[in-house]
Structure 1
């Protein structure tokens, strides 16, 4: 159980700075983790929701290239920001472990949420969105473990809202970036 949760946290840290292609792996690891640590109806709902939501996110966002088509300096800048965000997520998770002892499964779920929030600080809009979706995956996993229907439903609604907003917003941001790099 702890090994699978640790693997999920490593995938979350590796997802920082990646585009939507990481979502299916992130959702599958989260679903496998909740199948081991959770029990009850909320955990069962999260077990079904994580792969489905992340698959939908991958399908809708997978066609948008985040930063790979940019110049070399922009890619280097994003990689450096992703490295700093990863280090910040590790540091925040360690500080959480030192400040409180919520138990290892809850701590790893908190680490998933913190990794997603640190990824949301990246400069590219698609990478920010993927970071927020990974953060919501962590909240879904936490809701499944703690058997909290309000947390599961709130994370689900925000997840669906972000996907709906992104399907409208991300193509427009990409269009603005191609037309005039100074706009974004």
Structure 2
């Protein structure tokens, strides 16, 4: 179980600064973790939600091109921000482990949530959306592992709302980024 959670945590840290192509792997790895960790109806519900929601999000987000700035300084800036977000996520996980001692599965679920929130600190809207979806994956995983129906339901509703908002807003934001500005 610890190895599976470690792989999920590494995948969550790797997802920072990446586009939606990482979501299916993140959702399947989280589903495997909840299958090993949880028992009963909440775990089965979380397993099904993680697989189906992430595959649907990938189908919707794959049409967006990954962020490729025209100049090298913009690419370095995005990579530097992603590296800072990864270091921040690791520091928050370490502080959580030192302050709370909630148990290893709960700590690792919290680490997935924190990594997703640090990924949402990126400046590109697509990367923010993917980071928030990864954080909500962690909340669904936490709810399935602890058997908390309310947490699973709330995270699934937030996940769905964020996905619908992202699918509605991201084409408009990508269009604004791609169009040249006239009248300068």
TM-score by length of 1: 0.96
Quote how far apart the aligned CAs of 1:68 are: 2.1
What CA distance in whole angstroms lies between the structure 1 residues aligned with 2:28 and 2:19? 16
1:100 corresponds to: 100
Aligned equivalents of 2:163, 2:127: Cα separation in 1? 13
Between the two proteins, the alignment pairs up a number of residues equal to 181
Could you tell me which residue of structure 2 aligns to residue 26 of structure 1? 26
SS at match of 1:68: coil
Q: Determine the structure 2 residue equivalent to 1:6.
A: 6
Residue-by-residue CA offset, 1:136-172 (whole Å, 9 max, x unaligned): 0000000001101110001001111111111110000
| Range with greater deviation from structure 2 (114-123 or 60-69) | 60-69
Give the match for residue 171 of structure 1.
171
For structure 2, the residue ranges without an aligned partner over 5 or more in a row are none
Alignment of 1:93-132 (within 5 A): 93-132=93-132
Over residues 102-130 of structure 1, what are the superposed CA-to-partner deviations in whole Å (9 max), with x where a residue is unaligned?
00000000000000000000010000000
Separation in structure 1 between the aligned mates of residue 71 and residue 153 of structure 2, nearest angstrom: 40
Corresponding residue for residue 157 of structure 2: 157
- Hey, what does 1:65 align to over in structure 2? 65
Q: Calculate the aligned-residue CA RMSD, in Å.
A: 1.1
Which aligned runs of 4 or more in structure 1 are off by greater than 6 angstroms? Answer: none
Q: Is the CA contact (8 Å cut-off) linking 1:67 and 1:74 kept in structure 2?
A: no
Quick check: 1:43–1:147 contact (8 Å CA) kept in 2? yes
For residue 74 of structure 1, report the CA deviation from its aligned partner: 1.5
Once the two structures are overlaid, the 10-residue window that deviates more, 68-77 or 51-60, is 68-77
Listed as ranges, the gaps of 5+ residues in structure 1 are none
CA distance in 1, matches of 2:58, 2:87: 26
| Cα displacement (A) at 1:180 | 4.2
User: Kindly tell me: are residues 49 and 70 of structure 1, through their superposed partners in 2, closer, same or farther at Cα, counting changes over 3 Å?
Assistant: farther
- 1:120–1:131 Cα contact (<8 Å) kept: yes
